[in-house]
Structure 1
Amino acid sequence: MKLRTKLWLLLVVSTAASMILFGFSSVWIGKVANKGYALFQLNPLAQSVVDLVEQQPVFGPDTVKPILDQAHAEHPAIRWMWLDDQGRSIYDTAGLNPVYSFKDLAMLMQQLPKSYLTDADVHVLTQTDKDGKSYFLLLSLPASAMKQGEVYFLIRKISSLLTLTIPLILAFSLPFLLAIWLFSSINRRIRKLNRALNQLNIQHDSPTVTLIDASKDELGQISRHYNEMALRIRSQFTEIQQFESKRKLLLSNLSHDLRTPLTTMLGCAEMIRTGNYKDQHELQSRAKIILQRCRYMDKLLDQMLDISRLDADDLTLRLAHHNLSEIVRKIAVEYFMILDGGQVVLDVDTPDEDIHLYMDAPLIERALRNLLDNAIRYGKDGRYLGIRLTADGQSVSVIVKDKGKGIPPEHQAHIFERFYRVDSGRSGEGLGIGLAIVKDISLAHQGNVELSSTPNVETVFRIKLPC
């Protein structure tokens, strides 16, 4: 069943049920909470007693007394008096037997509507005839014995019933119409949301359905959440596609990067096995090539392991106080030995006073080595490698600088993304994750990494960590 049908059924059934409930509850509550005599009950009650008296042969005290006493026993709150045409009391259940003049009786009846709305006694006068004489039955009861609330509608013609039903219909129709308007509006907005969800597509070229709903209720919030969700899903799908494309390129590059050194190693090993070399110097040269290619392949496997760890979010910090200056000096010595004999100038600048930091030393060392390897691999043409350590009381900076070919401006915004390589061809080595690891390590330490590069002039990487 559709929501619109459910809403219509709910409105119709609830309206009918409310009217029935109103009628039954009014009657029931009136009987329970509004006890007493109703004004319309007194006249029939008095007439029933007069009918009993009229059956008697004479209207004397002996014949009237049993009937009035019986009525008083059944209705003890009512005082019953039988009067003759002179206003004299023939019998009074209260035993007072007063005498009323015509004026007195007229005043009782004249003040009845007004006295009924006050705390005065209520009187009902009923007349009958016997042997050419008039007799009267007078009922008197206190206001406390009457119902405390009564509503009467006097209808002489059916057409006059419209004066009651039309206001009643209008009274019930107004909330009904307002509910219809509200439910129709909600149903229309839900249909728009449902249609937008059905048309949601994460592909690039598919149109984006944007819901415009300025209201601040729950449906308005859901519509705005839908718009944000649709944009987020499409953006994430685009990122996944790019990531998958880079992953495929990674596998292709990895296959080439492993096959090329492996082919070289096989050729050198075969030459050594067959003894097909000129002298001892050529033998050492071939062995050195095998060693270099083995180290290169070992570095590739380490990078593959890094990829697995990044995918598994296995970057757990083990923080402790360490001497960052000592770590920088130790690494600088190692790279000085690596660069010894080459034409690259190593420039190291650290403060005289050691800098101690609360950090994960192996991870920081790994990040620094990645920057240094990157500078040597791509900036060696500048023949300069600088390492600098600074502190300003708020943060500590580890700076790696080279003067090589640098990074073009159009690549600088993406250089820290996984698998991103400035050179998409095969001239460069590596898998494009070294700088991504540096960024992850910096962020894990609540810091960041910055890049400033002017091609063929200077390229600076700065790891900034809070003190």
Structure 2
Amino acid sequence: MKSRTKLWMLMLISAIASILLFIALSVVLANIGDRGYDLNSLNAISQEVLDTIEEQQAFHAADITPLLDNTHSNHPDIRFEWIAEDGSTIYDTLGEKNNYDFRQLADRMLYMPQNLWGVDEPITLTFSISLQDQPYYLLMSLSSDAMKQGQIYFFMRTFKVLSLFMLPLIVAFLVPYLLSLWFFFSMNKRINKLNYAIGQLNLQSEITVLEDTKKDEIGQLTAHYNAMARRLQNQTEQIKQFDKRRKLLLSNLSHDLRTPLTIVLGYAETIRAGLYKNEQELQASAKIMLQRSRYMDKLLDQLLDIARQDEGNIEPNFAVHNLSEMMRKIAVDYLMLLEGQSFTVEVNIPEQDIEAWFDASLLERALRNLLDNAIRYGSEGHYLEIGLSEKDNIIFMTVIDKGRGIPVQDQEHIFERFYRADSSRKGEGLGIGLSIVKEIIAFHDGSIILTSVPFEKTVFEIRLPTNQRKQ
């Protein structure tokens, strides 16, 4: 969820929560701090009593007594007096008998508005009803403490009551701001952590992984940072490994060139000085010089391959070729090469030709690299197999030997540049042959799979789609 959406939702929820909280607090505080009677409730009680009196014609003492007692039991804070026209008390719920004159009644009504606002004098309300033109009076008396402490639509009797009514309003206004402050404080804290981690990120130190499970923009940015930091760490490790292999390459190259060059120089000096015994020895020396020179030429070709890979100059030239015919020619070359070397060579190429879009020179180079490796490192098995087949629009090319194989821990790295399964071997190339094979197969949208069991079977299987697009 985006932060903007989250903020709007938070403000909306805050506003709704504020209103509900205001209503709830108002009701609770009203029930706690605003108990008692107000003028409306007193008027309703008096009207109910007068209606009952009129209905029951309960004007005399015997009739009015149970009625007023019942009402008084429901409202014990109110004193009810039933007064005749001459001021005599017909019935008083307090049990008093009074004969009021005008002055006494006037004194009880004196300063009545002020009494409603908290004066300790009792409050008296007077109501009348007539029977055959003879008036009777109902006096309702109660202390000011029994009245409601505040009536917001009329008045506030004390500052204490005013504060009670203001508290929900203050809380309602503060809640959205407090929630907003909390939200932005939380966001700022997360941003500061991310900023600090980015500031500490470098190639020489361990990365700082941040924990942030939220799905908003900052959470996504944190996830991207963690992924970037891990990639940077992996790339740094790869650079270190690459640099280590580059140094090993230079060391191997120096050794691989020095040894054959020393041999060539030695035989050349022997021929120049005429120290050979006969023509046969001369030819043998020349043959060795030629072999070593070709080996050094191959090393130089591999260096050129490295340069082409780095510059991206290997560009395939696709066309329709007969793959079966190409592999037959390659197989014939290696049959002649291995003749007399106690090698068992099997060629499994179907009679029906297989044609496809591919770069003939690059694919032939990849196959020859695999065959050279099989002969060089699998010679102990004295076995070599070349296979070609097609199934479900996939072309399968296999090179199999039964030599020492490739250890499991090296199989995932064997196609990396400059990697050698046995780094102690000298004079056996620069460790880029299989990386070139993988790159060539990738140009053809294919894949190469290795499976190896020492001295049982080591298989390099190339898989190419038959629907190769024209490049």
TM-score by length of 1: 0.62
One-letter identity of the residue aligned with 1:247:
R
Name the residue aligned to 1:389.
388
Q: What aligned pairs does 1:76-225 form with structure 2 within 5 A after superposition?
A: 172-203=173-204, 206-225=205-224
Give the distance between the partners of 1:385 and 1:167, measured in 2 at CA: 91
Give the distance between the partners of 2:219 and 2:444, measured in 1 at CA: 40
One-letter identity of the residue aligned with 1:199:
Q
Name the residue aligned to 1:289.
288
One-letter identity of the residue aligned with 1:266:
L
Name the residue aligned to 1:370.
369
Name the residue aligned to 1:72.
none
Identity of aligned residues (%): 56
Give the distance between the partners of 2:247 and 2:383, measured in 1 at CA: 35
SS in 2 for 1:223: helix
Call closer, same or farther: CA 1:427–1:250 in 2, change over 3 Å: closer
What is the CA distance between 1:224 and its match in structure 2? 1.2
Structure 1 range deviating more: 238-247 or 154-163:
154-163
One-letter identity of the residue aligned with 1:353:
Q
Unpaired runs of 5+ in structure 1?
Answer: 1-152
What is the CA distance between 1:198 and its match in structure 2? 2.8
SS in 2 for 1:387: strand
Call closer, same or farther: CA 1:171–1:329 in 2, change over 3 Å: same
Structure 1 range deviating more: 156-165 or 192-201:
156-165
Name the residue aligned to 1:422.
421
Name the residue aligned to 1:280.
279
Give the distance between the partners of 1:250 and 1:299, measured in 2 at CA: 15
CA contact (8 A) 2:406 2:452 kept: yes
SS in 2 for 1:233: helix
Q: What is the CA deviation profile of residues 303-337 of structure 1, one whole-angstrom value per residue up to 9, with x for unaligned ones?
A: 11111122223333322221100110111122223
Name the residue aligned to 1:313.
312
CA RMSD after TM alignment = 2.6
What is the CA distance between 1:163 and its match in structure 2? 9.5
Name the residue aligned to 1:255.
254
Is 1:325 paired with 2:324? yes
Name the residue aligned to 2:357.
358
Is 1:230 paired with 2:229? yes
One-letter identity of the residue aligned with 1:393:
D
CA contact (8 A) 2:256 2:426 kept: no
CA contact (8 A) 2:255 2:427 kept: no
Give the distance between the partners of 1:367 and 1:201, measured in 2 at CA: 40
SS in 2 for 1:406: coil
Give the distance between the partners of 2:261 and 2:330, measured in 1 at CA: 30
Give the distance between the partners of 1:242 and 1:364, measured in 2 at CA: 29
Give the distance between the partners of 1:427 and 1:214, measured in 2 at CA: 52
One-letter identity of the residue aligned with 2:191:
I
Give the distance between the partners of 1:154 and 1:445, measured in 2 at CA: 91
One-letter identity of the residue aligned with 2:259:
T
SS in 2 for 1:459: strand
SS in 2 for 1:423: coil
One-letter identity of the residue aligned with 1:176:
Y
Name the residue aligned to 2:48.
none
Give the distance between the partners of 2:439 and 2:252, measured in 1 at CA: 23
What is the CA distance between 1:280 and its match in structure 2? 0.7
Call closer, same or farther: CA 1:317–1:161 in 2, change over 3 Å: farther
Give the distance between the partners of 1:399 and 1:360, measured in 2 at CA: 18
What is the CA distance between 1:357 and its match in structure 2? 1.2
SS in 1 for 2:305: helix
Name the residue aligned to 1:15.
none
One-letter identity of the residue aligned with 2:394:
S
Call closer, same or farther: CA 1:171–1:373 in 2, change over 3 Å: same
What is the CA distance between 1:201 and its match in structure 2? 4.1
What is the CA distance between 1:154 and its match in structure 2? 11
SS in 2 for 1:354: coil
Give the distance between the partners of 1:375 and 1:461, measured in 2 at CA: 9
Name the residue aligned to 2:143.
none
One-letter identity of the residue aligned with 1:375:
A
Name the residue aligned to 1:303.
302
Call closer, same or farther: CA 1:458–1:163 in 2, change over 3 Å: closer
Q: What is the CA deviation profile of residues 242-264 of structure 1, one whole-angstrom value per residue up to 9, with x for unaligned ones?
A: 11101110011001111111111
One-letter identity of the residue aligned with 1:185:
S
One-letter identity of the residue aligned with 1:400:
V
Call closer, same or farther: CA 1:161–1:408 in 2, change over 3 Å: closer
Name the residue aligned to 1:97.
none
Q: What is the CA deviation profile of residues 315-362 of structure 1, one whole-angstrom value per residue up to 9, with x for unaligned ones?
A: 333222211001101111222232334332332121010011122222
CA contact (8 A) 2:255 2:426 kept: no
SS in 1 for 2:414: coil
SS in 2 for 1:463: strand
SS in 1 for 2:448: strand
Call closer, same or farther: CA 1:413–1:157 in 2, change over 3 Å: closer
One-letter identity of the residue aligned with 1:180:
L
Name the residue aligned to 1:138.
none
Give the distance between the partners of 1:331 and 1:198, measured in 2 at CA: 58
Give the distance between the partners of 1:400 and 1:157, measured in 2 at CA: 101
Give the distance between the partners of 2:226 and 2:247, measured in 1 at CA: 32
Give the distance between the partners of 1:356 and 1:190, measured in 2 at CA: 60
Question: How many matched pairs?
Answer: 314
Give the distance between the partners of 1:155 and 1:422, measured in 2 at CA: 93
Name the residue aligned to 1:104.
none
One-letter identity of the residue aligned with 1:344:
F
What is the CA distance between 1:171 and its match in structure 2? 5.7
What is the CA distance between 1:241 and its match in structure 2? 0.6
What is the CA distance between 1:161 and its match in structure 2? 9.5
What is the CA distance between 1:443 and its match in structure 2? 2.2
CA contact (8 A) 2:270 2:276 kept: yes
Q: What is the CA deviation profile of residues 256-296 of structure 1, one whole-angstrom value per residue up to 9, with x for unaligned ones?
A: 11111111100110111110111111100110011001110
Name the residue aligned to 1:27.
none
Q: What is the CA deviation profile of residues 46-69 of structure 1, one whole-angstrom value per residue up to 9, with x for unaligned ones?
A: xxxxxxxxxxxxxxxxxxxxxxxx
Call closer, same or farther: CA 1:453–1:163 in 2, change over 3 Å: closer
One-letter identity of the residue aligned with 2:186:
S
TM-score by length of 2: 0.62
Q: What is the CA deviation profile of residues 110-160 of structure 1, one whole-angstrom value per residue up to 9, with x for unaligned ones?
A: xxxxxxxxxxxxxxxxxxxxxxxxxxxxxxxxxxxxxxxxxxx99999999
Q: What is the CA deviation profile of residues 63-109 of structure 1, one whole-angstrom value per residue up to 9, with x for unaligned ones?
A: xxxxxxxxxxxxxxxxxxxxxxxxxxxxxxxxxxxxxxxxxxxxxxx
What is the CA distance between 1:226 and its match in structure 2? 1.3
